[in-house]
Amino acid sequence: MTARPIIIDTDPGQDDAIAILMALASPELDVRAITTVAGNVPQPRVTDNSLSLVTLAEREDVPVYRGCSRPLVRKLYTAEYVHGPTGVDGADLPTPTVEAHPMHGVDAIIEACLDAGDEPITVCPLGPLTNIGMAIAKEPSILDGIREIVWMGGAFDEAGNTTPLAEFNAYVDPHAAHIVFSSGVPLTIMPLDVTHKALMVERHVEHLASIDRPAAQAAAGMVRFYERYDIDKYGIPGAPLHDPCVIAFLLEPSLFSGETGPIAIDHWNEATIGNTYRSEEEGVGRATVMSSVDADAFFDLVIERVGSL
């Protein structure tokens, strides 16, 4: 089996952390790089968290690159109110045993895609699309080296979680999202429509916590902290694991279903900025927008992979 080459672009975040651990535990995936982007918490915190996660997974061979510290146009909006001041509250992650690579994350994405050859890269953004949009704008020829982009972000038939219309990752950098949407690259989106159906309820957390392995213990602790916000806000029985949906899709695409069609994002009107929507207008992009998930099988996969580290 040839492992699928991927780049994870991320702003950890507890759910980002679990997605990263899943990917690092999966032999089907060749994680060529982790690039970090300001989002859930600022730089350099997201970079420190990513370095701690490769240390926890004993995957120090995976290089971590520090990416953009702010969105392309707007001021940075962060989510410590959800994730805590560290972004990964609930777990004592190890002190990193490696440092970030000196190359900027945007340039690392560009270099990897230009050098992809016969093995195009799957780009997996788990946060705002700043680094990806910047890479495409700086070097449009990278699109030939991208197999597809699988992004967690947006909300279509579901209400937003940051404004009534906008999901967090879309809201933080809608201008970068517009660049990605209109680039023509094959795009799969995991919006709130599907991630809010992937709730990690108590039996899942207990199962994860019962595994006497460092990564499983860290993941269970992070979920127990992270779930409080959504349980209080939505009255739901557990935490939606947004970002692990991206990795699960790469491993088991049959767990998800959705529709392919034209999409757009509002990136100018402040009243509706960050709103992702289906559109028949000229010049919009196309994406497969996922809307359903086999939640039980999804959590079996999450727990099996994280628990194996």
Under the banding of pLDDT at 50, 70 and 90, the label for residue 236 is confident
- What does pTM read for this prediction? 0.96
Q: Is the pLDDT of residue 290 over 90?
A: yes
Phi, psi values for residue 184, rounded to 5°: 90, -5
78-123 pLDDT, tens digit per residue, is 999 999 999 999 999 999 999 999 999 999 999 999 999 899 999 9
First to last CA, the chain: 20
Buried-exposed string 209-237: b where 16+ CB fall within 10 A, e elsewhere: eebeeebbbbbbbbbbbbbebbeeeeeee
For residue 22 the two structure tokens come to 């899943």
Token duo for residue 83: 């994730």
Q: Once rounded to an integer, what is the mean pLDDT over residues 20-40?
A: 98
Specify whether 175 is catalytic.
no
- Between these two residues, 239 and 85, which has the higher pLDDT value? 85
Nearest residue to 48 (alpha-carbon basis) of 38, 79, 58: 38
User: Which run of H or E residues covers position 17?
Assistant: helix 14-24
Q: Which two tokens stand for residue 297?
A: 């099988």
pLDDT range class, residue 200, cuts 50, 70, 90: confident
Name the residue with tokens 């050859």.
Answer: 117
With b meaning 16 or more CB within 10 Å and e meaning fewer, what string describes 82-93?
bbbebbbbbbeb
Question: 134, 185, 153: which is closest to 275 by C-alpha?
Answer: 153
The mean predicted confidence, pLDDT, of the chain is 95
User: Can you list the domains of the chain with their CATH numbers?
Assistant: 4-306 (3.90.245.10)
Two structure tokens written together for 105: 């994350």
- Measured between alpha carbons, how far is 303 from 112 in angstroms, rounded to an integer? 30
Residue 278's Cβ-count burial label (10 Å; 0-12, 13-18, 19+) is middle
User: Phi first, then psi: what are they for 200, rounded to 5°?
Assistant: -90, 95
Q: Choose, from 83, 175, 242, 267, the residue flagged as catalytic.
A: 242
* Confidence check: pLDDT of 284 > 90: no
Q: Which band of pLDDT confidence, cut at 50, 70 and 90, is reported for residue 1?
A: low
